[in-house]
Amino acid sequence: MKKIFILFFISFPFFACSQEKVSLKDKFEDYFLIGATINQEDYQIIDKDEKILKIVSEDFNSVTPENSMKWMHSHPEHSKFTFSNAQKITDFAKENDMYLLGHTLVWHNQVPDYVSKIEDKSKFNLHVKNHIFQLVTRFKGKVDMWDVVNEALNDDGTLRETIFLEMMGDNYIEKAFQYANDTDPNVELAYNDYNLYKPKKRKGAIKIINSLKDKGIRIDAVGIQAHWDLHFPSIEEIEETIVDLAATGIDVMITELDITVIPNPYELAGIAREEFKKFEGDKKWDPYQSGMPDNIQKKLTNRYKEIFELFVKHHDKISRVTFWGTTDKYTWRNENPIRGRTDYPLLFDRDYKKKPAYKALVEMDLSNID
């Protein structure tokens, strides 16, 4: 008995130490990549916040530039490309041997005004082709996968009316994938969208994937964005989404995971920002300004645990799980859909500390999940 007791005390520090050292990327190494985003705004990082970079390099093996490669930042004027911030993230990713996402080539959001002033359809088409060519070429051999087209669907599964649809026609998605493939046949190509748990929207995504495949146009993966909350979508809905999308035969990725814990006046997507202005500063919509209550912390922890149990169960279909952000301090959720709020959607808190949800994930028992 005494012997066992002594042995426990000798081994305890080593045990505690090895527990402490498990990172997210090590924990899920046999299942999928674990990603985070890096932003570029003045309140944030790249060369400004070393603590973020430390977290990203220690816990993650994939990175997505949250904004730097988007059209407004990479191609702000008709004939001007700016890659310095995207390049810094690329260098960081390569120094740390991380899987790098190119986000994103064709998206209706964050497109500079000059693009909508190109009135001639064939010139517009050429401009998009050149945009794709320039970005894919610039990051050839560095970006591992491009989100070629982002958020092309309405919630009812029809194509969203964007400038790309209007100017390039119904087959603009095919063209975008074709241009990306022609520029770099080795980089992986993905379609990325939110609300794919809604059956009609998911059907729309499957239609896009199958139509590309039928026409012999390469698509390697589909991204489920995963901007979710404490209750919606349900685990069953998430499971159906993963299973249905995987049945198309391409990789499924969770690309933008975060769990908002504060209330939202309307459904999360599709409402114009101006409509939320009237709620700014209203405590009803920003209830946890001075900290997250314990019961909400527990709910968040359980929600993350359940979600990851599901991801592990379907790890044969999922190649990557990326969190949209790194710490609660910098999440886009604090500014969306109502500006200036205090949300807690990620695994690291405002002081860069690991939250209980982080601990629950690295301590999960993965042996019984099937």
Nearer to ligand G3I, 163 or 369 (CB): 163
Tokens 């087209």, residue located: 149
CB atoms within 10 A of CB 125: 18
Q: According to CB under 6 A, which one of 67, 241, 319, 326 is a site residue for ligand G3I?
A: 67
CB atoms within 10 A of CB 358: 19
CA 135 to CA 70: how far, in whole Å?
A: 10
Q: According to CB under 6 A, which one of 66, 144, 184, 328 is a site residue for ligand G3I?
A: 66
Which one is catalytic: 66, 174, 188, 256? 256
x/- track of binding to ligand G3I for residues 17-56 (CB under 6 A): ------------------------x---------------
CA 50 to CA 70: how far, in whole Å?
A: 23
CA 265 to CA 282: how far, in whole Å?
A: 11
151 is catalytic: yes
Nearer to ligand G3I, 160 or 315 (CB): 160
Nearer to ligand G3I, 150 or 301 (CB): 150
Residue 258, interface with ligand G3I (CB under 6 A)?
no
x/- track of binding to ligand G3I for residues 105-124 (CB under 6 A): ----xx--------------
Q: Who contacts 346 (Cβ-Cβ below 8 Å, separation ≥6)?
A: 258, 323, 325, 326, 327, 328, 331, 355
x/- track of binding to ligand G3I for residues 301-340 (CB under 6 A): -------------------------------x--------
Which one is catalytic: 41, 58, 151, 274? 151
CA 59 to CA 61: how far, in whole Å?
A: 7
Q: According to CB under 6 A, which one of 225, 241, 248, 334 is a site residue for ligand G3I?
A: 225
256 is catalytic: yes
Structure tokens given for 34:
């674990």
Window 227 to 256, contacts with ligand G3I (CB under 6 A): 256
DSSP string, 245-313: HHTTTSEEEEEEEEEE-S--SS-SSS--GGGGGGGTT-GGG-TTTT---HHHHHHHHHHHHHHHHHHHH
Nearer to ligand G3I, 31 or 144 (CB): 144
Q: Are 178 and 221 in contact (CB under 8 A)?
A: no
Positions touching ligand G3I (CB under 6 A) are: 41, 66-67, 109-110, 150, 225, 256, 332
Residues with a catalytic annotation lie at: 151, 256
